Amino acid sequence: MIRKSLSALALAALVSLPAPAAAQDAKAVLAAASKAMGMDNLNSITIYGSGANFNLGQSNNANDAWPRNNLSDYQRSIDFATSTSRATAVTFGAPVTGGPAVQGAFQQNVSPNNAAWAQQLELWTTPWGFIKGATANNATLGSSGGAKTLTWMTTQKAPSGVSYKVVGYLNAQNLVTRVDTWLENPIFGDMLVENDYSNYREALGGVMYPATMVQKRGGWPVFEAQILGANMNPTNITALVTPPPPPAGRGGGPGGPGGAPPAATSTKLADGVYRIGGGYIGLAIEMRDHIVLFEGGPQNEARSQAIIAEAKRVIPNKPIRYSILTHHHFDHSSGLPAVVAEGITIITHENNKAFLTRALTAPRTLAPDSMSKSGKKPVIETVQEKRVLTDGTRNIEIYHVRGLPHVEGMLAVYLPKEKILAYADMFNAPPANDPVPNPPVVGTQVFVANVVDQLKLDFDTVVSVHAPNPDRNYSKAEILKSLGRN
């Protein structure tokens, strides 16, 4: 036993010997990378060009890329000494309803006051920020696919208490070609944030910069840029990274966002049918031996839990069996982990099943949610064009709304006995006494073409997931009037 223990100690000592050498190798690689990238005297940088940003979670099709907005006059300045960065651009985005692109403004500000990794990663996953972060945080050396890798852990902590991991890849010329990190996300769980850098060029002063930059989240680009040039250590860096003050009357005062979300409140629409307000609108529908939710997982986990609790309150002693998801957009699906944790089956269009299954079964180590804590896996059933849920006395008809510019795979719910129709993202009433829009809103046209002209549904009450102000239901007549129809 003594010899065995001594042998184990000797083996452990031998295993631990390479660690200092590995650390020394990491330092040598970092020194070579700093030299190759012209960073030995780099304290700050400005890059400029054009590109695009993309709206995470708002794709037209759950299996396609995030929608693109072009960026012109893109400029980004970074001060590594103060951990601050500012990016600006002019945006041009085509509305989903068609027509000419709309000009807007893009800005992204990172400061020590905004020290969350979700913001700071935009600075420290750049090629130069990665090398500086790896040097300051005792990076370890590895390899992957023939490329050298350097890995370091952030000082920022995830909600679970662990540090975020940053992994950079270097090519044979010791240039940074990719930087990965992971960030918590309600749909994707531990979401990979991948930054790819290529086509390096040399700027005045010797600093190297990638002419092509692409950041991906959820497997698709959320940002890309074609960089035309870089300025090393600009003399006015403080001004470049300082955002302008907010417009008068905005920010800094009381009454802003924050605090507890509004409580879920319910209104009875018919026997066994309850409209749940306090955020995105949901429905609780009583069946003979269970409850069906319409839009039970919107916004976030807290909102979904509030809808579930209110449904159980107004319809006691019955389990919730189904939650009908209108569409996959993240503002409508980010509460789904709470739905899964309750053992509720998700009903969605067949187009969304593969995407949701993959996303909702991903690891969630950075921010464990109710789903990961429960150990339950998503159960997803689908609708192609129509599905009917029935208990013999009440029917819930689920329809696919076809041809909608906003999204493929949109579902609407119809209660024929109660003459109630529930939907999302297709109609928002114009202000009172406004003339009929010209041209009318495309989403409204498609909505009416589906449910009125083609399906010929007979409904009076229309429940929108996005409630108008003041909060109320719509009527069929109001929707038709918005199109200039009786």
Cβ pair 190, 364 in contact under 8 A = yes
Are 301 and 193 part of one and the same domain? no
Are 134 and 87 part of one and the same domain? yes
Residue 248 has pLDDT above 70, yes or no: no
Are 213 and 274 part of one and the same domain? no
pLDDT at 223: 97
Are 229 and 282 part of one and the same domain? no
Residues 150-169 have a mean pLDDT of: 97
CATH number for the domain spanning 456: value is 3.60.15.10
Are 303 and 201 part of one and the same domain? no
User: If pLDDT is split at 50, 70 and 90, which confidence band does 12 have?
Assistant: very low
Domain of 358 in residue numbering reads as: 265-482
pLDDT at 23: 62
Last residue of a domain, one of 209, 241, 273: 241
**Residue 348 φ then ψ, to 5°:** -145, 175
Torsion of CA 383, 386, 390, 394, to 10 degrees: 130
Are 113 and 221 part of one and the same domain? yes
Residues 258-274 have a mean pLDDT of: 84
Q: How far apart are CA 272 and CA 49, in angstroms?
A: 58
Strands laid side by side in the 189-202 sheet: 102-110, 84-93, 68-79, 44-54, 220-232, 208-217, 189-202, 176-185, 163-170, 147-157, 140-144
Are 324 and 464 part of one and the same domain? yes
Residues 16-43 have a mean pLDDT of: 81
What is the count of structural domains for the chain? 2
- Say if 40 falls within a structural domain: yes
- Say if 250 falls within a structural domain: no
The SS3 assignment for 202 reads: strand
Interior angle at CA 293, CA 291 and CA 296, nearest 5: 140
Residue 220 has pLDDT above 60, yes or no: yes
Interior angle at CA 402, CA 399 and CA 403, nearest 5: 160
Q: How far apart are CA 441 and CA 98, in angstroms?
A: 10
CATH number for the domain spanning 46: value is 2.50.20
Residue type, 151: T
pTM: 0.89
Cβ pair 171, 354 in contact under 8 A = no
The SS3 assignment for 51 reads: strand
Are 78 and 132 part of one and the same domain? yes
